Structure 1
Amino acid sequence: MIAIDNVLLSDDVISAQFVCDLEKCKGGCCVDGDCGAPITEAEAQKITEIFPVVKKYLPEAYVLEVERQGFYVTDDEHGMVTPTVNGGICVYGFTDELGVVKCGIEQAYRNGEVDFKKPISCHLFPLRIDEAAGYEMVNYEPRKSLCRPACKLGKKLQVPVYQFLKEPIVRKYGPEFYEALDALARHKAEE
Structure 2
Amino acid sequence: MFELGKTVVSEALFESHFVCDLQACKGACCVDGNAGAPVSEEERGILERIYTKVRPFLRKEGREAIEAQGPYVKGEDGDWETPLIDGNECAYVVFSGDKALCGIEAAYREGAVDWKKPLSCHLYPVRIREYTALTAVNYHQWHICDPACSLGEELKVPIYKFVREALIRKFGQAWYDELELVAARHLNQ
TM range (shorter): over 0.9
**2:75 matches 1:85:** no
Q: What is the Cα deviation at residue 32 of structure 1?
A: 1.5
Count of aligned positions: 189
TM-score, L = length of structure 1: 0.96
Counterpart in the other structure of 2:122: 123
Counterpart in the other structure of 2:185: 187
**2:142 matches 1:139:** no
Q: Distance in 2 between matches of 1:30 and 1:57?
A: 16
Correspondence 1:22-61 to 2 at 5 A: 22-61=22-61
Are the counterparts in 2 of residues 38 and 78 from structure 1 also a CA contact under 8 Å? no
Q: Distance in 2 between matches of 1:43 and 1:10?
A: 25
Correspondence 1:3-22 to 2 at 5 A: 3-22=3-22
Matching residue's letter, 1:36: G
**2:112 matches 1:113:** yes
TM-score, L = length of structure 2: 0.97
2:162 alignment partner, one of 147, 161, 164: 164
Q: What is the Cα deviation at residue 34 of structure 1?
A: 2.3
Are the counterparts in 1 of residues 21 and 147 from structure 2 also a CA contact under 8 Å? yes
RMSD: 1.0
| Displacement over 3 Å in runs of 4+ | none
Identical counterparts, % of pairs? 40
Deviations 1:134-154 (A, max 9, x none): 21111101212x100000001
Q: Distance in 2 between matches of 1:101 and 1:76?
A: 24
Deviations 1:35-62 (A, max 9, x none): 1011012111111111111111111121
- Range with greater deviation from structure 2 (25-34 or 173-182): 25-34
Gaps of 5+ in 1: none
Are the counterparts in 1 of residues 94 and 100 from structure 2 also a CA contact under 8 Å? yes
SS at match of 1:147: helix
1:153 alignment partner, one of 151, 154, 170: 151
SS at match of 2:127: strand
**2:156 matches 1:177:** no
Q: Distance in 2 between matches of 1:30 and 1:37?
A: 8
Q: What is the Cα deviation at residue 186 of structure 1?
A: 0.8
Q: What is the Cα deviation at residue 113 of structure 1?
A: 1.3
Matching residue's letter, 1:60: K
Matching residue's letter, 2:103: G
